[in-house]
Amino acid sequence: MKLAVRECDGLPLAVVTLAGCMRGKSDPHDEIDKDLIIEKWIEEGLIDEMGSRKAMEGSGHSILQKLEENCLLERRYGIVYHKEKISIKSSMRLEEVPNMEEWGEDLEKVSLMGNYISTIPQTMKCLKFPKLITLLLSWNPLKEIPESFFEHFLNLKILDLSNTLLESLPNSISSLEKLTVLLLRGCWCLKSLPCLSKLLALKKLDLRDSGIEKIPQGLEMLLQYLSIHSKLRSAEELKELNKLEVFYGSFHNVGDLTKFARIKIDVGDEIILPYGVDELSLLGCKGVRSINDVGLRDATDLKECELCACSELECVISSKCDQLQKLESLKLSELENLKVVVEVGAREPSVGIFSSLRRISLSRCDKIKKLFSADWVLSNLEEMDVVGCSELEEIITESEKTRLGSNNDTIKFPFPKLRFLVLTSLVQLQRICSENRVMVCDSLQHITISNCPKLKRIPLYLPQLENDDGELSPSNSLQIIQMHSRDWWEAVEWEHPNFNIKNVVRPLLEFWSTSDEDA
């Protein structure tokens, strides 16, 4: 970016013109976490106050999009700017805090992250820094802070002490009446906090992976964001946090979760999740037979769902739940009693129930036998990863409707966006789909099939795979085919209009072993 600006000789019109030409150019390795950038913007007060954090996040995404469209966002490092009022001395192997007499009274932000600072001397001469609003001391082996230290930073808004060895905080932290963000994540030696009731501006408190086991008192009307690692004794502990919008933590059982939902939205005895939930993770939850048990019925905005080690879970959703059209990611792992994705109920689920699904991952779910119904519209699916499900027999199973309407003609199931297909260690897998059925994959890039000894047929049709001469087409999307055994590959049938298709794709093959005995 600097080189481009230099080539434009600093002329604004030239920079804008070049930015327009570069729009859409990207490096797939240079990815950034947009949500993290927006979270930091909110912390820094760079996004105007709105009615809720959700509204501020929406504004942040709009800003990011505009920056990307005008090539003003470096994908790997985020926004780049230089200011004399900022001091950054991160990861410089410092063992002591730099002399504060050198900081300057106009300093606004200081970062000393990732050094070797273990103490701040009691005798250290501290000046007043009336303009300092951000102080980052995370990832230091810091064990002690002088009692009066924070009295010198009365306008501080962001304090990050994450991943330090602090056992206590000085009482002077209560003098930071303008503090909005206090980050103590990973401070596992920290067992208690001084009174925080005077921190009248505090909105975000991160105590995850710290030694703090109780929610500090006096924050009832303040916190919008709370992260705490320990399991709460009761949802009642959160009852008074009236401003809370974002909570990271854990409950002993699903009853506490649903009780918390009732407390936050005041809906009497009805159990539903708060409105607008877009991510749901249930990890090791007992007493959950399906996610309907935690009130998914009204979670119309759900985009990501992860279920892991929930021993009583038998299905993901009941067929009574038709409001998952926005679900993009479904991750299921170590669900020992999972039998089906959608429970067969009084009526068939909506065909569009997974119409937005982009990624599905299924691993170590040993009772499920069928994965998808042929009725479901999976036109947006990009990644399918199925691993270690010992009883799985079929990926796409016919419904009663498709079975009654079938004849000898080949039926095509369209998967226009599917890029990655991984089927590994599925010892009972017999079919990807039934005979005379094929998956039409226009965008497939990567195929992995390993340790599926009962699978005798690959029903994949790739329209762009070959040219008129029966060779790999330059416009073909497929890049690699990984197989565990050469013997299995030689025996398997690939159902495709070109009966010579296995020879066509031979340049793309990779084998992990030469024979089934090695597999």
Give SS3 for 64. Answer: helix
Give SS3 for 136. Answer: strand
Beta-carbon contacts of 198 under 8 Å, excluding residues fewer than 6 positions away, are 174, 175, 177
In a domain, 199, yes or no: yes
In a domain, 257, yes or no: no
Count CB atoms within 10 A of the CB of residue 43: 19
The more confident residue out of 180 and 102 is 180
Burial of 169 (0-12, 13-18, 19+ CB in 10 A): buried
For the stretch 467-508, pLDDT in tens is 767 677 877 889 999 998 889 999 999 987 777 888 888 889
Q: Quick one: which of 413, 143, 515, 482 has its CA closest to 505?
A: 482
Locate tokens 């119904």: which residue? 373
pLDDT given for residue 452 in this prediction: 95
In a domain, 373, yes or no: no
- The DSSP code for 81 is -
What is the domain range of residue 476? Answer: 381-519
* Alpha carbons 510 and 78: distance in angstroms, whole number: 37
Q: Mark whether 391 and 440 lie in a shared domain.
A: yes
SS3 sequence of 341-397: EEECCCCCCCCCCCCCCCEEEEECCCCCCEEEECCCCCCCCCEEEEECCCCCCEEEE
Helical axes 53-69 vs 34-44, angle rounded to 10° = 120
Q: Mark whether 89 and 13 lie in a shared domain.
A: no
96: Cα separation from own chain's centroid: 37
In a domain, 313, yes or no: yes
Strand pairing category for 329-333 and 315-318:
unpaired
pLDDT at 369 over 90: yes
In a domain, 217, yes or no: yes
Q: Mark whether 467 and 324 lie in a shared domain.
A: no
Give SS3 for 174. Answer: helix
In a domain, 222, yes or no: yes
In a domain, 503, yes or no: yes
The answer to whether 379 and 354 are in contact (CB under 8 A) is: no
The answer to whether 91 and 116 are in contact (CB under 8 A) is: no
pLDDT at 38 over 50: yes
Q: pLDDT band for position 279 (50/70/90)?
A: confident
Burial of 321 (0-12, 13-18, 19+ CB in 10 A): buried
pLDDT at 167 over 50: yes
Domains identified in the chain, total number: 4
Q: Mark whether 313 and 281 lie in a shared domain.
A: yes
Q: Mark whether 142 and 232 lie in a shared domain.
A: yes
pLDDT at 349 over 60: no
* Alpha carbons 396 and 65: distance in angstroms, whole number: 37
For the stretch 396-405, pLDDT in tens is 988 665 555 5
pLDDT given for residue 251 in this prediction: 63
Give kind and range of the element (H or E) at residue 42: helix 34-44
State both tokens at 72.
Answer: 């003003």
Chosen domain end from 345, 368, 391: 368
Q: Mark whether 216 and 316 lie in a shared domain.
A: no
pLDDT given for residue 380 in this prediction: 95
pLDDT given for residue 18 in this prediction: 46
Phi, psi (degrees; rounded to nearest 5) at 53 = -65, -35
The answer to whether 126 and 105 are in contact (CB under 8 A) is: no
pLDDT given for residue 411 in this prediction: 83
State both tokens at 155.
Answer: 């306008």
Give SS3 for 36. Answer: helix
* Alpha carbons 268 and 478: distance in angstroms, whole number: 54
Q: Any idea what the Cα angle at residue 316 is, between residues 315 and 320, rounded to 5°?
A: 90
Beta-carbon contacts of 427 under 8 Å, excluding residues fewer than 6 positions away, are 390, 451, 452, 453, 454
